[in-house]
Amino acid sequence: MKIAIVYASVHHGNTKKLVDAIADAYGTELIDATKIKEKNLSEYDAIGFASGIYYGKFHQAVLNFASVNLPQEKTVFLICTHGGSAAFGSIEAILKNKRCSITDRFSCKGYDTFGPFRLIGGIAKGHPDDKDIKSVLDFYDGIIKKMQV
Ligand SMILES: Cc1cc2nc3c(=O)[nH]c(=O)nc-3n(C[C@H](O)[C@H](O)[C@H](O)COP(=O)(O)O)c2cc1C
């Protein structure tokens, strides 16, 4: 099964912690959308999009990557880290246009020192933690099992 995860992780590497854990455990290909702008995804069985949440959205590099490169009707899964709350709407709007099916969504807190939070030492300190990493691995395992059925 050919799977890639397209990600952006620009604040504290929180999202990268999650996708690195998946890549280490499963050998999944990672595509850093802040560096790679174009790629043919037609051969992939599923694509993951992973991002921190910035101003209520997935990172613009991930959104652009999806708009440009994601073929119609692909199987997609989503991962985000956030200081406050998960927000999948920005990426889901693109996926809807491309008639892609979303198998699952994962979110967890990520250390956040943006704006005034810096003054109090940040929020969600220590996240993603070991428990979050285990949860994302369970999530990914579930996706693979679902696709094998
Ligand atoms: C510019 C900026 C804007 C952010 N906006 C939000 C937001 O709207 N909602 C939220 O829950 N977290 C927000 N955060 C916190 C990040 O989503 C959180 O720290 C995330 O884990 C960062 O992931 P990364 O380290 O992979 O970039 C923001 C952080 C930054 C730097």
pLDDT, tens only, 117-133: 999 999 999 999 999 99
- For the segment 95-115, the average pLDDT, to the nearest whole number, is 96
pLDDT, tens only, 29-41: 999 999 999 999 9
Q: For residue 143, give every residue at least 6 positions away whose Cβ sits within 8 Å of its Cβ, in sequence order, or none.
A: 46, 77, 103, 104
pLDDT of 20 over the 80 cut: yes
Write down the pLDDT at residue 65: 98
Using CA atoms, how far apart are residues 46 and 134, in angstroms rounded to an integer?
21
Write down the pLDDT at residue 149: 75
How far are the Cα atoms of 54, 78, 83, 103, 140 from residue 145, in angstroms, in the given order?
Answer: 31, 16, 30, 11, 9
Does ligand 1 come within 6 angstroms of the Cβ of 128? Answer: no
What is the atom index within ligand 1 of the atom nearest the CA of 55? 8
Q: Cβ distance 139 to 104 under 8 Å?
A: yes
pLDDT, tens only, 78-98: 999 999 999 999 999 999 999
* Overall CATH class of domain 3-142: alpha beta
Write down the pLDDT at residue 148: 85
Among all chains, which residue has been given the structure tokens 């969504």? 105
pLDDT, tens only, 33-75: 999 999 999 999 999 999 999 999 999 999 999 999 999 999 9
CA 52 to ligand 1 centroid distance, Å: 5
Given the DSSP bridges, would you call strands 46-54 and 57-58 parallel, antiparallel or unpaired? antiparallel
CA 148 to ligand 1 centroid distance, Å: 34
